[in-house]
Amino acid sequence: MNDWQELWLDLQSPAIALELAGLVACLVLAAWACRALGRGFAGHSIWFGRRIVDGVLFPTLSLVLVFALKLGLLKFQHVPVLKVAVPVLMSLVVIRLIARVLALAFPASHGARAIERGVSWLAWGVAVLWITGWMAPVLDELEAIQITWGKTHITLLHVLQVLTTSSLVLVVTLWISAALEERVLRRAVSDLSMRRVLANALRALLLLLGALFALSTLGVDLTALSVLGGALGVGLGFGLQKLAANYVSGFVILLERSLRIGDYVRVDGFEGTVADIKTRYTLLRANNGIEAVVPNELLITQRVDNLSLENSRMLLSCQFWVGLDAHVEQVQTLLVQAALTAPRVLSEPAPVALLSEVAPQGLHFSLNFWMDDPASGQAPVRSGVNLAALAALRGAGIALGQAPHEVVMRH
């Protein structure tokens, strides 16, 4: 009699009702415990998930209760239903754990969703092998397949064990780092940039420790990593100088807080808001939606105009040429009044219209004014001032002059 026939006979037993009732009771008790413990935590916790029973705690409690019930009933009868329920709940624990940790660590990553689906298929496949009794033959076949590398012989089962252990350690490490960032860093560090660099450093340290722990538990000789460390040092010294400089510059920027997320800056002629500061580059987003990836070394070695450090005001200038017969005082008054009517132009400090040049072609006036909120763009303000000044000059009957060709018009 094979496993399937034995399972079919057990399912026809009258005692199956007791198992089903016990299984339902375990699930109900686990759901009640989760709701009692998870009030106020829904949507914000790996343990409770979005709907209390959608987290890791519900399948974990269910697994513990069902396994205890299985051990108790085994003394009196066969438990085919509970034998099926245990691997199913174990697979559900693994899937929920990986899904919740990846969603918390990488909330907007499509790769995390793909990994979650792959792990789900793998976990359910293992559960099916366990239920059908094919797990032992499959493990024996994997143990028989050997991979030869020089004098080293590695079985395929060992490779899969390494990958599985490393993946679990990675998930637990991400869970710990996310929990520390949420419960410790968010409360202890108020500065967003400083919190970001501490979170990145903490995650990198925990991942390194987790990887070393996983390798040591699987019997990997860690002394071989010293050779890799030496090779990495040589690579950084010769081929990765720029990459290392960008990483070091990123930590310097975050630690000194010379730039912060949300600042409006000008770098190499590009103006935009600092959207994110990575360890290798900084992301700038202009008002027209264009994003620029600026290496952090550039922000350290070159001039960066931070328009958000002191205040939100910015001085602009517009140029006008009028005829030689125009009255200077009248033109100045018209230009100043026109600038004050434009949106986002500050009345204090007041706009100033200066006679910059007198030439045969006409009179050159420079209208200087202050604007607020430069992060919202300068072009609309300039356009508003130019339109208001043009309307004022035409309304007063003042003829516009022609700029000389050798004069460079700068705004």
The angle at the Cα of 409, spanning 407 to 410, to the nearest 5 degrees, equals 130
Q: How confident is the model at residue 1 (pLDDT cuts 50, 70, 90)?
A: very low
Tell whether 409 is covered by a domain: no
Tell whether 368 is covered by a domain: yes
Tell whether 162 is covered by a domain: no
Domain end call among 254, 286, 310: 310
pLDDT digits (tens, 9 = 90+) for 248-291: 787 787 777 778 887 888 888 888 888 888 878 888 888 777 88
pLDDT at 310: 54
The answer to whether residues 48 and 75 belong to one domain is yes
The answer to whether residues 122 and 92 belong to one domain is yes
Instruction: Give the total number of structural domains in the chain.
Output: 3
Tell whether 375 is covered by a domain: yes
The answer to whether residues 277 and 321 belong to one domain is no
Tell whether 165 is covered by a domain: no
E-strand ranges in 223-351 read 264-267, 270-277, 281-285, 291-295, 304-306, 313-322
Q: How confident is the model at residue 408 (pLDDT cuts 50, 70, 90)?
A: very low
The answer to whether residues 127 and 57 belong to one domain is yes
Tell whether 44 is covered by a domain: yes
The answer to whether residues 38 and 107 belong to one domain is yes
Host domain of residue 81:
3-133
Tell whether 143 is covered by a domain: no
pLDDT at 89: 82
What is the spatial distance between Cα 128 and Cα 192, in angstroms, rounded to a whole number?
46
Domain end call among 133, 154, 173: 133
The answer to whether residues 227 and 326 belong to one domain is no
pLDDT digits (tens, 9 = 90+) for 119-171: 777 777 777 777 676 777 777 877 777 777 666 677 777 777 777 777 777 77
The answer to whether residues 126 and 20 belong to one domain is yes
CB contact at 8 A, 16 and 22? no
pLDDT at 367: 92
The answer to whether residues 264 and 343 belong to one domain is no
pLDDT at 307: 73
More confident residue, 189 or 83: 83
pLDDT digits (tens, 9 = 90+) for 11-20: 556 667 777 8
The answer to whether residues 10 and 127 belong to one domain is yes
pLDDT digits (tens, 9 = 90+) for 340-389: 998 888 888 889 999 998 888 889 999 999 888 776 777 888 899 999 99
pLDDT digits (tens, 9 = 90+) for 24-51: 888 888 888 877 776 655 555 677 766 6
CATH number for 282: 2.30.30.60
CB contact at 8 A, 23 and 80? no
pLDDT at 337: 92
Rounded to the nearest 10 degrees, the angle between the axes of helix 16-37 and helix 57-73 is: 150
Domain end call among 133, 156, 180: 133
The answer to whether residues 50 and 83 belong to one domain is yes
pLDDT at 41: 59
The answer to whether residues 117 and 236 belong to one domain is no
What is the spatial distance between Cα 46 and Cα 204, in angstroms, rounded to a whole number?
21
pLDDT digits (tens, 9 = 90+) for 55-74: 778 888 888 888 888 888 77
Average pLDDT along the chain: 76
The answer to whether residues 8 and 128 belong to one domain is yes
